[in-house]
Chain A
Amino acid sequence: MFNVRSASLETKTATKTVTKLTCLAAILLSSTGIAQAANGLSIESWRSDDANIWNDVIIPAFNKSHPDTKVNFAPTPPTEYNSALQAKLKAGSAGDLITCRPFDTALDLYKDGYLANLNDLKGLKQFSDVAKSAWVTDDGKDQFCMPVASVIHGFVYNKEIFKELNLSVPKTRDEFFKTLDTIKSESRYIPLAMGTADQWEAATMGFQNIGPNYWEGEKGRKALLSGKEKLTDKAYVDTWKELAQWKPYLGRGFEAQKYSDSQNLFTLGRAAIYPAGSWDIQTFNNQADFEFGAFPPPVAKAGDTCYISDHTDMGIGINASSTNKEAAKVFLNWMASKEFATLYANAVPGFFPLSDHQIDIKDPVAQEFMSWRQQCKSTIRNSYQILSRGTPNLENQLWNVSAQVINGTMTPEAAAKETQDGLEQWYKPQQ
């Protein structure tokens, strides 16, 4: 390594340059934004991948019922979205509608007065409290964004392998591990396609996937927030204990297996079960040439209530300084409708509308994921609301300890202790 210049210098310089460029971009974009604000609505978003869907499907559908409002979808690439939006809001040139990241990023915008209060928005009645929780103030009083989409965790399995080995979909944990045993002993397929090299899968597709069944979803999450439960309690230790049991069923060398490796192992038909997030459906649809299905995280005993991680990922709010707030509210109310939910769910399979409408999804696997909302109780990832505000950061710790528990280099009890200690250092209710 012979880069003589100091990295700190370069990074610093780079940041400054990026900020300048962002400002410049903001100014350029703002000129178009203002022009459109006069006779319509402009939407800020990071989903540049979905630009076609918005322009060709969603906005035309809205205009059928509201021909007078012109809507412009103006996305920024995901990595630049937060800083570009911040710059535009400061300059007063941001669009009328603002796509909200969940929790603290959006909350900070509301606190700084950039987002309008939505408490009296009619459309909000279509959403459950869990769905809305990502965009309310800490005291639960003020709603500043309306939920749009969520992602659901579960397991995706290769139907052909299941048929070949005469397996049925596991409902309980015992059945789950029996299934894994059968795959391991009677075939050369890898039972579970997951690695720990990138660490986040261990926390997201592992801990947050199977955990809600142990800590009873929202009940446990709220108890953790209020300090009634601790991460050293049985529910959490047991979650890590189950994760530790996954180790023998993972592929050889899983410690160096990356997220894309796991995806490839599954789509190439070399692995039977894949701990998934619903966003994987699109990748699998494109790459796998076999039929695959999905099942929710197995419960302890048959007939137990099941809990799923139905994680709120995207919301939408109104720019507090928008000149067209009435039209923006009309648009948001339309986004709360069944029509929008159906359009969106089918255009982007794996991202699920959060409203309570019964909708038809054509993609069979996405439909399966969606159906769990009726059978099971929804919750969100327990580290996302408030608990990742301090130092050490709970989410980062969960990545680290969950990966280590699966690697076998840390006991479930030690993982629980480390995360609980971290939380106690700064979070009052846990002290």
Chain B
Amino acid sequence: MNPSNQHDEKKPFPWHLVFFLGPGLLIYVVFSVYPLLDTLVLSLYNEQQGQTSFIGLQNFITLVTDDTWSQAFWNALGNNFKFFAIHMLVQNPIGLLLAVLLSSPKLRLSGTYRTLIFMPTMLSVVIIGFVWQLLLSPIWGISENFLYSIGLGQYFDAWLGKESSALITLAFISVWQFVGIPMMLIYATLLNIPDDIVDASVVDGANSFQTFWHIKLPLILPTIAMVSILTFVANFNAFELIYAVKGALAGPDFSTDLMGTFFYRTFFGFQLQQGSASMGAAVATLMFLIILMGVMLFLFFIQRRIQRFQF
């Protein structure tokens, strides 16, 4: 019997794990977990003239039932769903289409296209907002002349200024900026599909559409699902583009107001409106809950049913 052997059997505390996980965990807790919990707690309080008092769920009740608040809240939530729907219906299909085109072996200069399409994603939202405002400006913009030159001039309008079109226009700008991300993710998955599976389908007599529909699409479905959930989370946190283009009052008549801008006005205040930290925290908590619910629905009903393939 060797004493040191006996000692070896009792494993020493894994200090190296603490060493490696600690810094990351610490940063995560301090800058993500703690603020989140603090926000949740703050939303249960009311502060007036520096005095804070516990009021339970009153902030939330006010937010969804009191006319002054609920109108703005439901309007922002509704707009947010529209904003999300446009991304799902336009951004992700286009991303998929671009990825399929890019992965075609016959396409030349695919690297160039990939870079160009991905470029806007890397630019600041403020720049994107500014550039598109200039492009679409009825005063200096080039889009009107462009439309005339292809015979569609009479359809031009001050899209960003009209209640009926402002939100849709902003959603399209956002789609234009971020279409590169679904494209990249799906493109990477497509490249991972082994050639022999595709070859086998060709040998079996499938044409290229059939190959895509029956072979490739099922294999990239998990990626598309992931892209969808990322789109959902990002859209319900969207704020920058609206703020950069329309300001915090999200005009005209709040037609471009999203949860993000509504939160900003509530928390920080605007012009003569004093900000309210507790009410703002309540809005932030609701945003968090909406996103949480969305993600959970996705996990329970979609993620579980997706079949994954390993090559």
Contact = CB atoms under 8 A, between A and B. Distances in A.
B160 interface: yes
B247 A199 contact: yes
Residue of A9, A12, A103, A388 with most partner-chain B CB within 10 A: A12
Interface residues on B, range: 35 or more
16 contacts: A1-B241, A2-B230, A4-B234, A8-B284, A8-B285, A9-B39, A12-B35, A13-B35, A196-B252, A197-B251, A253-B139, A255-B162, A257-B138, A388-B273, A393-B272, A409-B253
A404 interface: yes
Interface stretch (A338-346, A358-366, A394-402): A394-402
B217 interface: no
A11 B263 contact: yes
A1 B87 contact: yes
A384 B160 CA distance: 29
A1 B178 contact: yes
Interface string A405-421: 00101100000000000
B237 A6 contact: yes
A7 B272 contact: no
Q: In the complex, which of the residues A6, A265, A410 has the most CB atoms of chain B within 10 Å of its own CB atom?
A: A6
B233 interface: yes
A110 to B, nearest CB: 13
B234 A253 contact: no
Contact of B252 (A255, A257, A392, A394): A255
B47 interface: no
Nearest to B50: A112
A20 interface: no
Contact of A425 (B68, B238, B264, B271): B68
A256 interface: yes
Nearest to A422: B68
A395 B252 contact: no
Given A2-B181, A403-B251, A404-B252, 16 more contacts: A1-B235, A2-B230, A2-B231, A2-B234, A3-B237, A5-B32, A6-B288, A12-B38, A13-B32, A198-B247, A254-B161, A256-B161, A395-B271, A399-B249, A400-B254, A403-B252
A153 to B, nearest CB: 17
Interface in B154-191: 157-163, 174, 178, 181
Contacts of A255: 158, 160-162, 252
Interface residues of A, number: 52
Interface in A366-398: 383-384, 388-389, 391-396
Contacts of B252: 196, 199, 255, 403-404, 407, 409
B193 interface: no
Q: Which of B36, B237, B285 has the most CB of A within 10 A?
A: B237
A369 B205 CA distance: 84
B286 to A, nearest CB: 9
A4 B284 contact: no
Contacts of A409: 163, 252-253
A384 B157 contact: no
B240 to A, nearest CB: 9
Nearest to B171: A1
Contacts of B233: 4, 6
B68 A8 contact: no
Interface of B: 31-32, 35-36, 38-39, 50, 68-69, 87, 121, 133, 136-140, 157-163, 174, 178, 181, 230-231, 233-235, 237-239, 241, 246-247, 249, 251-254, 260, 263-264, 267, 270-274, 284-285, 287-288, 291
Minimum-distance CB pairs A-B, first 7: A253-B138, A255-B161, A8-B284, A256-B161, A1-B234, A253-B158, A388-B272
Contacts of A313: none
B267 A199 contact: no
A403 B291 CA distance: 33
Among the interface residues A251, A253, A256, which one has the most CB atoms of the partner chain B within 10 A? A256
A259 to B, nearest CB: 10
A388 B270 CA distance: 11
B34 to A, nearest CB: 9
Contacts of B38: 12
Contacts of B136: 256
A409 B138 CA distance: 19
B247 A1 contact: no
A252 B138 CA distance: 7
A251 B140 CA distance: 12
Nearest to B121: A2
Nearest to B239: A7
B138 A256 contact: yes
Nearest to B259: A7
A223 B109 CA distance: 72
Contacts of B237: 1, 3, 5-8
A16 interface: yes
A79 to B, nearest CB: 11
Contacts of B291: 6
